[in-house]
A and B are shown apart, each in its own frame.
Chain A
Amino acid sequence: MGDHHHGPATGITRWLFTTNHKDIGTMYLWFSFAMFLLGGFFAMVIRAELFQPGMQLVEPAFFNQMTTLHGLVMVFGAIMPSFVGLANWLIPMMIGAPDMALPRMNNWSFWILPPAFLMLASTLFMEGGAPAFGWTFYAPLSTTYAAPSVTFFIFAIHILGVSSIMGSINIIATVMNMRAPGMTYMKMPLFVWTWLITAFLLVAVMPVLAGAVTMMLMDIHFGTSFFSAAGGGDPVLFQHIFWFFGHPEVYIIILPAFGVVSQIIPAFSRKPLFGYASMVYATASIAFLSFIVWAHHMYTVGMPVAGELFFMYATMLIAVPTGVKVFNWITTMWRGALSFETPMLFCIGFLILFTLGGFTGLMLSIAPADFQYHDTYFVVAHFHYVMVAGAVFSMTAAVYYWLPKWCGRMYNEAMGKTHFWISFIGFNITFFPQHFVGLAGMPRRIPDYALQFADFNMMSSIGAFIYGASQLLFLYNVIATIVAGKPVSDEKVWDGAEGLEWTLPTPAPYHTFEEPPQVPKPVGTI
């Protein structure tokens, strides 16, 4: 097989029928960026309406459709597929495999996504409008009281779930079976480790989400009453099921981001990752804990006090492995030889802002205090610090870091740094004041607010427009690099970069590692 080289097919069929992990990775990445822009557009509508008190641009019902679609598109359309795209590109190259273990399934797991999102977006044009019950779609607002388009929403969620499950099975199969000789588990790059654990989380919880939406479907169309008290069901049951999926889901989003940061910080510190083994154990503990903390989203539903205490203690515990990770990254930087190219800037941005989000997470975990925080803008600030500054910043870092390897051309560094600074400042102008309005009592998911929240909301909206606009600069930089960037001469691109992917020629050829490579030395050393 080794001498049987061939390039990609030509035309559209290359993309439709491809089983090549790099092509599929590319499609995932572009798709997720398109969704990022779509979800971002919805966010701009939200922030424009909230620019001032009073209703100006949209009606309350449409506002709720915007918040719902924004959340769904960002979580399921932008963040999750972007990391799957990254996994596709990088996992085979990092473990010395020629491709993913299940290439045809790989093609399917991508190609069912665009129709699912098309269907979800089309609900905007249906009678009664798009789903308007928040990305957490609590019953009975999402069942008895939902617009008819909810059925399409359920179908879309099912497809996304199938796609995620297929993607995860593929990753698990690849990592377990296709590592090059000598690539033992404890030599795998951290990105591979975090994705392996994430894939197990996905396989465990996506079926739970599918169960939740199926029960909704039954309640809506087939006369059951899972979530309706009138028929002997329980609306709170929905929340338990949703968050049993939902909390692991937030770690599904952040673990691959941890992996990315654990690759990039050592490269620009020119020093091996500190505490490799403890990073692996911390990731595994976080994954385990993420299954036993779900009800911290439900402190106000009226749980018995014993339940409340259990979930409070378990949630507080998550701070320990999370702290270990932050300490390890900083110690990796300690006494390195640091340089601050764009990927490193985004990682440092991640480190600072994610840690802030972790602190507010710890505050939220304190049940009695959460009675005051819950469902206010304080929570909105928390999860944007962890999801945007956590997941999106690290994803952006990843693109800048590996793009030269993927396409053999260097991005414009000055433009990259500008993108970082505008993003960083815009992000903080948007979300920092939300801590204040949340503490001062502004509930989330409202289209209009009392006058005392006006100044900070205007600030937030201005920040959001800045942050949004800076993403266009990113898009431009990426396209300009692919089309006309300066060719990269060094295979390694970054002098501090370590790992098998950097031993490949630049740009990475269509087929790589058709012969398994010799794994040189433990990843923990240089």
Chain B
Amino acid sequence: MRRVFSGAALTLLAPLAAAQNQVNMSPGVTEIGADIFELHMLIMWICVVIGVAVFAVMFYSMYAHRKSKGHQASQFHESTKVEVAWTVVPFLILIAMAVPATSTLLEVYDNDEAELDVLITGYQWKWKYEYLEASGEPVAFFSNLATPQEEIYNTEQKGENYLLEVDEPLVIPTNTKVRFLITANDVIHSWWVPEIAVKRDAIPGFINEAWTRVPQEGIYRGQCTELCGAYHGFMPVVVHAVSRDEFDAWMAAKRGAAITQAALATQTLPVDELMDQGKAIYDSACLACHGAQGEGGIGNAIAGSALVLGDLSDHMAVVAKGVSGTAMQAFGGQLNDVEMAAVLTYQRNAFGNNTGDVVQPGDVTGMKNG
């Protein structure tokens, strides 16, 4: 049935569809995605049929009952029979639509018995993914837009996945029921991946549930779909579905990296390394508001800022705790001590700030503990 529908759709729309211009919903790779697609096509075709019939009558009338042809107006203006018919028949059609719609909806809501839970938190303007597994070191990371500013501002050729690429995608195993627990840290966002047919609002203070079971390895791309501020258009979602083995290996590597980071936090790092890591963090997490040259924008200027040039603990307090009531969030929970040290070092020395201060992870740990 599905093949017939999509086949017919293709013939109908083929002349409009240039090579890469997708004109219809994608059935995606999941069972639910396919069900939704079928439902969508079913309703669409019912509408097309009704529409063709209704407009055929109208156009016939416009042709045959023209005054210019000398047609005389009839004066009928009532008929209870037809009125009842065109109230009852549409009602029955609606019932026919409601049946598959209800069963698909119940499927979408079947959140039980997940084998893996992922907590997704929307931030202005990035996603945080946290794997909630009973055992082992927790794994959590942020996923930022990876498209460079130069592509966005048209000074460089745009890449194939322009605006749909991230620095670190969400990785999930195939053929596993994965439950997403979705929330937000600031404003409302919405997590959407069309190909797996999951869209759920991320609401601060509340946790929504959704689930998927992806049968096929691949990279699936989507975007935030709830207006969440200036860079709402720049917070894509990328999901890598990989085999169970690959997933386990990836998870082990992530845990290993977390342990290394923890070890780094007790060491003294060279300035260059701090500056490099600091720039990377600044570019992905701070640049949108503070500008590529630290010139400011939504946030105030970092270049020459009295706060940044001044006392280190005040500087760190702002970055760690944010400024409530403004777009400046608390990064304390987002950056570990090494990253915090790196971004502070970077801000205090880049953009002509040249304080010469080197902040070490140990300093950060120290300030945190009072």
Contacts and interface: CB of A to CB of B under 8 A. Distances in A.
Contact of A524 (B77, B82, B199): B77
Contact of A54 (B66, B151, B230): B151
Contacts, number: 283
Nearest to A323: B90
A445 B208 CA distance: 23
A326 B54 contact: yes
Nearest to A526: B75
Given A352-B55, A446-B232, A140 B187 contact: yes
B211 to A, nearest CB: 13
Given A316-B97, A448-B152, A270 B73 contact: yes
Contacts of A54: 151-154, 158
Contacts of A64: 227, 229-230, 232
Interface in B161-218: 161-164, 186-188, 190, 192, 194, 197-201, 203-206, 208-209
A234 B205 contact: yes
Given A54-B154, A323-B86, A333 B161 contact: no
A155 B362 CA distance: 51
Given A141-B227, A234-B205, A376-B225, A327 B54 contact: yes
A444 B228 CA distance: 12
Contacts of B98: 312-313, 316
B55 A443 contact: no
A60 interface: yes
A218 to B, nearest CB: 15
Contacts of A455: 18, 21
B368 interface: no
Interface string A407-441: 00000000000000000000000000000100111
Interface in B69-91: 71-79, 82-83, 86-87, 90-91
A445 B229 CA distance: 10
B253 interface: no
Given A316-B97, A366-B43, A235 B205 contact: yes
Interface in A360-419: 362-363, 366-369, 371-372, 374-376
Given A276-B77, A337-B67, A355-B51, A371 B108 contact: yes
A445 B231 CA distance: 10
A313 B95 CA distance: 9
B344 interface: no
Interface string A137-160: 010110011000000000000000
Contacts of A333: 58, 61-62, 65
Interface in A247-294: 269-278
B222 interface: yes
A372 B199 contact: yes
A452 interface: yes
Nearest to A374: B199
B238 interface: no
A359 B47 contact: yes
A320 interface: yes
A448 B77 contact: no
A336 interface: yes
A431 to B, nearest CB: 14
Contacts of A330: 54, 57-58, 61
14 contacts: A55-B154, A60-B234, A230-B205, A235-B204, A308-B109, A319-B90, A330-B57, A330-B61, A336-B61, A337-B65, A348-B58, A362-B43, A376-B225, A439-B22
Interface of B: 16, 18, 20-26, 35-36, 39-40, 43-44, 47, 50-51, 54-55, 57-58, 61-62, 65-68, 71-79, 82-83, 86-87, 90-91, 94, 97-98, 101-102, 104-109, 124, 151-154, 158, 160-164, 186-188, 190, 192, 194, 197-201, 203-206, 208-209, 222-234, 298, 325, 327
